[in-house]
Amino acid sequence: MSAESLAGRRTTLRPLAEADAGPLLEAVASSRAQLKRRFGWVESAVGAEDMLRFVRARAEAWSAGSASTFGMFEARTGKLLGVLSLDHIQRETLKAELSLWVRGDEQDKGFAVEAGRLAVEYAFKKLALHRLYARIDPVNRSARKVLQRLGFRYEGCLRGDRRLNGRWVDQECWAMMRSEWRSSK
């Protein structure tokens, strides 16, 4: 599967490159407190080599067709805003999981919604998926608002679905079907 860039009015999504390891580390470091509540990998992401391994692993997953991971960049400045990924891409059932994060100092500015719209269109048009889903922390109101603005529907709570920071946590499941995306355009 070839890597490509997606451009919005204010946001550009493009595959992460090795040169992004430094800015990625800075973005993670500046948002570590928020990110570690949501992502288990954050605790071990402390150096440039950690980020380089992350970038390389995401590139390998892209090549294998199991994920499409994009750096999220501000179109005007090129600043790395966060990461958006379509993970667990399943060709047999035509579905994938959407996940994203935006660095703390750039949240609530509309970047996540614009990036999400680009990714949803990519998932349904380019990847020809049938279903896109997201799992979020039930207390993450910002993520819920983004998913609602994108047109995702709440499907339920997955109790004890994930182990994070040494404890089992619930997750809300949200999803959008290709037919729902088409009718919302």
Q: Is residue 56 included in any domain, yes or no?
A: yes
Instruction: Please name the residue ranges forming H helices in 65-170.
Output: 111-121, 141-150
pTM over 0.75: yes
CA diameter of the chain: 45
89 falls within a domain: yes
In a domain, 169, yes or no: no
Neighbours of 60 (CB within 10 A): 11
Enter the tokens of residue 160. Answer: 């004890």
In a domain, 184, yes or no: no
CB 10 within 8 A of CB 111: yes
**What are the C-alpha distances in Å from 160 to residues 34, 93, 99, 134, 175?**
21, 25, 19, 16, 19
Whether 72 is in a domain gets the answer: yes
CATH assignment at residue 76: 3.40.630.30
Q: Answer yes or no: are the C-beta atoms of 16 and 83 closer than 8 Å.
A: yes
> Comparing C-alpha atoms, which of 32, 15, 29, 151 is closest to residue 83?
15
Range of the domain at 110: 6-133
Residue 165: the pLDDT is 80
Answer for the pair 125, 152: CB distance below 8 angstroms, yes or no. Answer: no
Strand partners, 117: none
Residue 1: per-residue pLDDT: 41
pLDDT digits (tens, 9 = 90+) for 71-89: 999 999 999 999 999 999 9
Q: How far apart are CA 75 and CA 106, in angstroms?
A: 13
What is the tally of structural domains in the chain?
A: 1
**Does some domain include residue 182?**
no
pLDDT digits (tens, 9 = 90+) for 124-142: 999 999 999 999 999 999 9
Task: Evaluate whether residue 95 is within a structural domain.
Answer: yes
Half-sphere exposure of 142 (CA within 13 A, CB side): 15
Residue 121 lies in a domain: yes
CA 180 remoteness from chain centre: 20
The ranges of the chain with pLDDT < 70 are 1-3, 185
Quote the Cα angle for 55-59-65, to 5°.
Answer: 145
Phi, psi (degrees; rounded to nearest 5) at 17? -115, 160
For 183, residues 6+ apart whose C-beta sits below 8 A from its C-beta are none
